[in-house]
Amino acid sequence: MLVARQSFTREAADVRRVALIEATCAALAEAGLAGISVRSICARAGVSPGLLRHYFAGIDDLVCAAYAATSARMDAIFDAAIDAAAPDPSARLYAYLTASFRPPVTDPALLGSWTGFWALARTNARAAQIHRAGYAAYRARLAGLLEACGLAPNQAAREAIALTALVDGLWLELVLDPATFGSKGAIAILEQALATFSPVRKWRARQDSNLRPPA
């Protein structure tokens, strides 16, 4: 009976913690970092302000937890895109990069959360560490995919930095103003950058050939 009670208590605590993190993401999406408060987050989560202090040291600590959770969710989305792609290395690279221009990554609410995380990373050491770790992991996975396409490790590492910057810039403009070029436009710009890689160029040519109607 004691074991069951402890299990229930642990599960209830996890649910409350997750609720606070999800409420923080929603509040950031709506009001930004400057517009959130303990009271507004707790109201969204349906808990008392005092309970937040039980799970987190303060609002910055909670935002950091939300940043880490959101980064993990993005990693899972990108990994799923790779897993769903064809085994060809170029197809896996293409899937990884273009996942940023498809739902749920293009959800406008994500921008509000992400800009709040970026803002906190400028002044909070833990948020800065989460930021560095998240981007390092993304670039490392990207470099590995580029190596699988035939690039040398040093070149793959450099190209991973450049492509990450390109994807971030396109994603930011796409979510801020979808009328600028839209998801298809963003992917077309990315494809233009990827066309410099011979393996990717050949793979895309095969894809286009397969889509072309027979004569």
Each residue of 122-144: b (16+ CB within 10 Å) or e? eebebbeebbeebeeebbebbbb
pLDDT for position 10? 47
Q: 119 phi and psi, to 5 degrees?
A: -60, -45
Q: Please state the domain extents for the chain.
A: 60-211
- Give residue 203's pLDDT band: very low, low, confident or very high (50, 70, 90): low
Q: What is the mean pLDDT of residues 53-63?
A: 92
pLDDT for position 1? 45
- Superfamily of the domain at 60-211: Tetracycline Repressor, domain 2 (1.10.357.10)
Q: What is the pLDDT of residues 98-109, one digit of tens each?
A: 999 999 999 988
Is the pLDDT at 192 greater than 80, yes or no?
Answer: yes
Q: What is the pLDDT of residues 158-178, one digit of tens each?
A: 999 999 999 999 999 999 998
Cα distances (angstroms) measured from residue 87 to each of 32, 69, 207 = 40, 29, 14
Rounded distance between C-alpha atoms, residue 55 and residue 64, angstroms: 13
Q: 101 phi and psi, to 5 degrees?
A: -115, 20
pLDDT for position 51? 87
Selected residue with higher pLDDT from 141 and 213: 141
User: Whole-angstrom distance between the N-terminal and C-terminal Cα of the chain?
Assistant: 73
Is the pLDDT at 94 greater than 90, yes or no?
Answer: yes
Q: What is the mean pLDDT of residues 72-79?
A: 96
